[in-house]
Each structure stands twice: as C-alpha cells, then as structure tokens.
C-alpha cells in the first residue's frame, strides 16, 4: 500500500486575555514521499521565524505525549480511511 508523510507544526498559545482554555495552533507544512523528506523539511522550517521558537521534531513512535510543541510527522496510507469511529462533543 502506498503511503505519504504529513508534516504539521503544532504549539499551544496561552490565552492571557481571559480565564479560558489555551488554544492549540496547527499548521500543515507539507506532504512528502518519505519520512526522511519530511524530517528535512521540518529542519528547514525550524529555522524560520515563529517555527524556530518550537523546533522539536516529535516522533509519535517514541512518545505518548501529544501535547508537545513542535513538528509532527504522520504516516498516511493512501486510499485508506484514517478515522473509522465517530466522535462526541
């Protein structure tokens, strides 16, 4: 099965203007043909304004903490549903 690698950058912005929850900010950087290409892109982007404040490349296979700030690489299988359950709000 073919796969691609989705590179995203995520960080939590503390909301100081009110007594409410913090906001997670997520940016899609790109989609790459290999994990190595995605890591190279994260290293390039990590030198740019804003991103360099949170330059970590987080590997889901070695952490269970999804609240870290930085770059995330997700392996996506083409033509396969990624979300197969519903959700509640």
**Domain limits at 8?**
3-77
Taking a C-beta distance cutoff of 8 angstroms, is the pair 32, 41 a contact?
A: yes
User: What pLDDT shows up at residue 68?
Assistant: 85
Give the 3-state secondary structure of 12-62: EECCCCCCCCCEEEEEEEEEECCHHHHHHHHHHHCCCCCHHHCCCEECHHH
Would 89 be classed as within a structural domain? no
Q: Would 82 be classed as within a structural domain?
A: no
Query: What is residue 4's predicted lDDT score, i.e. its pLDDT?
Result: 95
| Residue 8 is assigned to a structural domain of this protein | yes
pTM for the model:
0.80
Output the pLDDT for position 24. Answer: 77
Question: 78 is written with which tokens?
Answer: 């083409």
Please report whether residue 86 resides in a domain. no
pLDDT in tens, the chain (89 residues): 699 999 999 988 776 666 666 677 899 999 999 999 999 999 999 999 999 999 999 876 665 566 689 999 999 999 999 888 988 87
- Number of domains, the chain: 1
């Amino acid at each position: 099965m073919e796969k691609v690698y989705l590179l995203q950058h995520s960080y939590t912005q503390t909301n100081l203007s009110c007594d409410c929850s913090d906001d997670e900010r997520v940016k899609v950087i790109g989609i790459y043909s290999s994990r190595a290409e995605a890591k190279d892109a994260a290293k390039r982007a990590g030198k740019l304004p804003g991103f360099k404040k949170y330059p970590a490349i987080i590997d889901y296979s070695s952490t269970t903490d999804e609240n870290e700030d930085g770059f995330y690489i997700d392996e996506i299988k083409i033509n396969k549903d990624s979300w197969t359950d519903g959700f509640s709000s």
